[in-house]
Amino acid sequence: MNRWYFDHNATTPAAPEVIAALGPCLGEVYGNASSIHHFGQQARQRLEQARRQVADLVGARPNEMVFTSGGTEANNLAVLGLARGAEPGRRHVITSTIEHPSVLDACRQLAREGVEVTFLRVGSDGMISPDDLRAALRPSTILVTVMHANNEIGTLQPLREIAAIARQAGVTVHADGVQSAGKVAIDVEELGVDLFSLSGHKIYGPKGVGALYVRRGTPLGPILFGGHHERDRRAGTENVAGAVGLGAAAELAGRGLPDEAERLAALRDRLERGILERVEGAGVNGRREARVPNTTNIYFDDLQAEALVIALDLKGMAVSTGAACSSGSVEPSHVLRAIGLSPERARASIRFSLGRQNTAEQVDALVEAVEASVAHLRRLSPCLKR
């Protein structure tokens, strides 16, 4: 049986070019990048080359990139590092209800520390209203943190407009770009953001490494202590091999981005069209415009999504019910509930996220597997309403 992977928003396989770049760093380039001898400086050279590669992907300067252990740490560093160092009287943060848990939980932690947090609602399309943001701003607002692309429904926020509104008010802007980096063209200067997070394993790099863009002059304090690494932004011996892998993945993503984005969008549309034409009681969640090209989230009424995930896995198709970090949760997706879905429909929704290895033939096979699995599960369902 063939096994095909349609869960690239959870993680991606490391690209061959990334594996090739990693090899020497695991065996030959073993020095500590902070050491001044030959072995340390050899590691330092690889680290700084990787920093340039990552910076190029998002239109930043190399010295504005901070390596982290992943997207979660990058988001925590941005949110906690900015807000905890705020001046007295500036203790208000604005975010949205559909953020990744690494942002939502960081904001909840700030609330426990006495910071006021406003959670902006989104519409049925998953979009923040710029007018709502404008109304939520206060003289005490220190940070606006919103995700560039949603990990479950793929919606792209109007980040330029959001950043312009916030910066006009003198407020720092952080964007969680973990699901947009490598999928759409990004220029942090053009977007107008001050902080931007990304993760290696979402762009065919290794797990356990990420990066945070920090605009020069942004008053960001550390959340880890113990050394002067990463220009005093992030203590700890640098993960040189991870950074090199991330750098290779970033260069690869930037090199083929326009063509790959167009190809993936065509495959996503083919998948949606096939399912909606052949499966009754199915529909796309969220906005079908202004989203990343590889992602769709589809509901299947009168089903439990977990049962469909298992049924498709038995047919060799890997999909998910949403965020991998929330797997095992009995609660319906907070993102799908935030855009207005009932608990029943949220629990009946599947995320399909395509990647480099996927082909039209695989998509067509997936459509057939979905059609057959849904029909089978509905016949078995005791709550069938059709």
Q: What are phi and psi of 328, to 5 degrees?
A: 95, -10
| Cα angle value 198/29/257 (rounded, 5°) | 30
How far, in Å, CA of 382 to CA of 203, rounded? Answer: 41
- Enter the tokens of residue 375: 């029909």
How far, in Å, CA of 140 to CA of 160, rounded? Answer: 22
63, 102, 57: which is closest to 246 by C-alpha? 57
Is the separation of the CB atoms in 115 and 143 below 8 Å?
Answer: no
What's the confidence (pLDDT) of residue 382?
Answer: 57
Instruction: Note the pTM of the prediction, 2 decimals.
Output: 0.95
324, 57, 312: which is closest to 205 by C-alpha? 57
How far, in Å, CA of 211 to CA of 219, rounded? Answer: 17
Q: How many Å from the N-terminal Cα to the C-terminal Cα in the chain?
A: 32
Give the chain as a 3 state SS string: CCCEECECCCCCCCCHHHHHHHHHHHHCCCCCCCCCCHHHHHHHHHHHHHHHHHHHHHCCCHHHEEEECCHHHHHHHHHHHHHCCCCCCCCEEEEECCCCHHHHHHHHHHHHCCCEEEEECECCCCCECHHHHHHHCCCCEEEEEEECECCCCCEECCHHHHHHHHHHCCCEEEEECCCCECCECCCHHHHCCCEEEEEHHHCCCCCCCEEEEECCCCCCCCCCCCCCHHHHCCCCCCCHHHHHHHHHHHHHHHHHHHHHHHHHHHHHHHHHHHHHHHCCCEEECCCCCCECCCEEEEEECCCCHHHHHHHHHHCCEECECCCHHHCCCCCCCHHHHHCCCCHHHHCCEEEEECCCCCCHHHHHHHHHHHHHHHHHHHHHCCCCCC
116-120/92-96 β-pairing: parallel
**What are the structural domains, with CATH classification, of the chain?**
4-11+257-380 (3.90.1150.10), 16-252 (3.40.640.10)
- Can you tell me which residue has the tokens 């199915």? 282
How far, in Å, CA of 183 to CA of 257, rounded? Answer: 7
Q: Give the residues across from 296 on adjacent strands.
A: 352
User: What number of other Cβ atoms are within 10 A of residue 359's Cβ?
Assistant: 12
| Ordered per-residue pLDDT tens for the chain, 386 residues | 899 999 999 999 999 999 999 989 888 888 989 889 999 899 999 999 999 999 999 999 999 999 999 999 999 999 999 999 888 889 999 999 999 999 999 999 999 999 999 999 999 999 999 999 999 999 999 999 999 999 999 999 999 999 999 999 999 999 999 999 999 999 999 999 999 999 999 999 999 999 999 999 999 999 899 988 988 899 899 999 999 999 999 999 999 899 999 999 999 999 999 999 999 999 999 988 899 999 999 999 999 999 999 999 999 999 999 755 545 556 899 999 999 999 999 999 999 999 999 999 999 999 999 999 999 999 987 554 44
Active site residue 25: no
155, 96, 98: which is closest to 284 by C-alpha? 155
How far, in Å, CA of 256 to CA of 273, rounded? Answer: 26
Q: What are phi and psi of 178, to 5 degrees?
A: -60, -35
Is the separation of the CB atoms in 363 and 271 below 8 Å?
Answer: yes
What's the confidence (pLDDT) of residue 88?
Answer: 86
How far, in Å, CA of 249 to CA of 271, rounded? Answer: 27
